[in-house]
Amino acid sequence: MKRRDFIALGMAGGVGAVFSPLIISCRRNLLGTPAEETERSADIVIAGAGLGGSAAALAALRNGLSVVMTEETDWVGGQLTQQCVPPDEHQWIETQGATQLYRTLRNNIRQYYRSHYPLTAAAAAQQYLNPGNGWVSRLCSEPKAAQAVLREMLNPYIVSGQLTLLLEHKAVAAEVEGDKVRALKVKHVRSKQESVLVASYFIDATELGDLLPITGTEYVTGTESQSETQEMHAAAVANPLNQQAFTVCFALTYDNKGVHTIQKPEEYDFWRNFIPPLTPPWSGNLLDLAYCNPRTLARREMDFHPDGGATANLNWWTYRRIIDKNNFTAGTYNGDITIVNWPQNDYMLGNLDGTEEEFAQHVARAKQLNRSLLYWLQTEAPRPGGGYGWPGLMLLSSATGTADGMAKYPYVRESRRIKAEFTVLEEHIGKENRLLVSGQDAAPNFYDSVGVGYYPLDLHPSTQGNNYLDFDALRFQIPMGALLPKRMENLLPANKNIGTTHLTNGCFRLHPVEWNIGEAAGMLAAYACQKKIAPRAVRQTPALLDDFQKIIQNQGIQTVWM
């Protein structure tokens, strides 16, 4: 193997920060002595096997290319599986507004329950089966079921050797020559064994945009200023540290005859008395069934009733419920299963895009917040009809695939974002801003559309003191220009790291849009590889763009709302 010089760049910095490289030779083993490392090559290397990464892989594979895909955890599926987030989707999802492959994934999950679970006859007969009957989504299911289905979709390519899936591997350095990535160095998260991955094209589908700093790709983080973007709701001053809160989700079930109260958490007193330091002000203590209405910021009362009894207000228990025991034959489940991804466990005290040590510290404190919320629910939460606490609540490790019942990876709402050929602004998709700028009540038609999506501009409280920001958006298209870094020629984003702003990321970060971004990126890399051209040439050449759009449309990617 030839000698390669890898660049490991700093992981923290400001908007568009440029880092000084540290040159590291890859030909060293764990003891620091020369050694031949494992080198793998493929047409495309994809870092991150979340929804965007898996969609990118499937798109490239069905078009005949070889792929190496890495994943930091031991599960594929990202926010749908390892992060335990039932899909946030729009009201048209069953018929349009997503790629055909994404709807295939959803239909396969429903069929998985029909084939492998003892559903009641009534549940099995439902065309749009919702195993949990949660009200956040039309498809609330167990993370392990979605993981199994997605692996089934990938397995034929793994068996044939067309796809190499490297679980528990994280990209740590890159070899870059000019404006091209030549190779990635990845490390097994437990054994620390390193491998070199060589390809013609690289796709960053990581949750935090990990490849951007290590390849020297220009990027931004946090909030842009209004003077920079002219967005109606942008901040007066840019702040790269001002990012949406992340959440470590966890799974609960309920034993109405048992007592499963956990030991009082170490940080319980802190979190029990914590009032988020936000502007406008939060509704009170974070550990409370009330929270700020995202639209009005007025105090909104909620109830919590795991027994399924009547409540005066909406019930947090059923919000992200992934198993409704009544959908299954008697005795299959002793109780419902719900995912706790609520305002009460949004972690606002730091970001995840710093050092590994900072990442670990914030995740550990987020888990302390979770345990404190659980202990509060078990001991102090007001019960409908009187009384306090639900001691029968239990963390459920079988739902999350972890020993502690918490997600394998944090639910990340905001990532590093490329400085792109085209950046989606609030004036493109925000209803009020669009009307003000253009007088139109519809999003623009992008000539380079590679998909569609919809979700409100929904931003959770931030790590620098902003309360919710949630307002109407328009049904939008995904422009290819937002997938193209301004400078790098063979690196594409396939997650929340595309060319959006802090604001517009709020409706590009959800499940079907991430999948569409990934599927489009995978097809664009495949097309560029087969044509032996740079991806940006496809956008710049009308004949190539027309040809590419026809191909993706024929393969089930909707580029215009119907």
Are 371 and 274 members of one domain?
yes
DSSP string, 188-249: ETTT--EEEEEEEEEEE--SS-THHHHHT--EE-SBPBHHHH--TT-BSS-BTT--BPEE--
- Classify residue 96: in a domain, yes or no: yes
Instruction: Provide mean pLDDT across the span 211-220.
Output: 98
Are 191 and 271 members of one domain?
no
Instruction: Judge contact between 180 and 200, C-beta under 8 A.
Output: no
> Over the stretch 68-104, which tens digit does the pLDDT of each residue have?
999 999 999 999 999 999 999 999 999 999 999 999 9
**CA angle 494-500-505, nearest 5°?**
85
> Is pLDDT of 138 > 60?
yes
- Classify residue 180: in a domain, yes or no: yes
Instruction: Provide mean pLDDT across the span 356-381.
Output: 98
Residue 13 domain boundaries = 5-215
SS3 108: helix
Could you say which DSSP state residue 37 is in? P
> Over the stretch 4-24, which tens digit does the pLDDT of each residue have?
777 775 544 433 333 223 222
Instruction: Judge contact between 407 and 247, C-beta under 8 A.
Output: no
Are 306 and 432 members of one domain?
no
- Please give the pLDDT value at position 30: 27
> Is pLDDT of 392 > 90?
yes
DSSP string, 391-423: TTEEE-HHHHTSTTSB-SS-B-----EE-BSS-
Are 382 and 471 members of one domain?
no
Whole-angstrom distance, CA of residue 257 vs CA of residue 265: 23
- Please give the pLDDT value at position 61: 98
Number of domains in the chain: 3
Are 40 and 184 members of one domain?
yes
- Torsion angles phi and psi, residue 544, rounded to 5: -70, -40
CA distances from 428 to 87, 417, 476 (A): 24, 18, 8
- Classify residue 416: in a domain, yes or no: no
Q: Which two tokens stand for residue 246?
A: 């992340």
- Closest by alpha carbon to 305, among 248, 386, 373? 386
Are 371 and 430 members of one domain?
no
pLDDT range class, residue 3, cuts 50, 70, 90:
low
- Classify residue 222: in a domain, yes or no: no
Instruction: Provide mean pLDDT across the span 100-115.
Output: 98
Whole-angstrom distance, CA of residue 466 vs CA of residue 245: 10
